Amino acid sequence: MQLAISANTQMSLAALSHHAALVPDEADPRGMHTWLLLHYYDRLRETIRTELSLPDYMENGWVTGWAERIMLDPIDFSTDVDLSTDDGDDGDIDIDVTRRAS
């Protein structure tokens, strides 16, 4: 994880330099960002809160810095949720992810 986060940081610094127009080689994993999908189950509110986050700093084995955090809509798990699968859906899942202005 430390190596992946180090690569995230190095790529962020490279984007600020004169080489910002360079496109990373998708075949080389060192040229890719590592994002984390984090979740928290809130039993009191009966929801799961999630975020898609780009870590950029670790300290003592813990992620302590983030280059970007995208909060996703909470998922409701109250008892009145219909969990049936007979809706004729094709199985595709569509999650709207929108960047927030910094």
Q: Where are the domains of the chain?
A: 2-18+33-76
Question: Is the torsion defined by CA of 49, 50, 56, 58 positive or negative?
Answer: positive
CA distance 73 to 47: 10
Model pLDDT for residues 33-88, shown as the tens digit of each residue: 888 999 999 989 889 999 999 998 889 989 999 989 999 999 887 766 565 666 66
Of residues 12 and 31, which shows the higher confidence score?
A: 31
pLDDT of 31 above 70: no
Question: Is pTM beyond 0.75 here?
Answer: no
User: Within 13 Å and on the Cβ side, how many CA atoms surround 94?
Assistant: 2
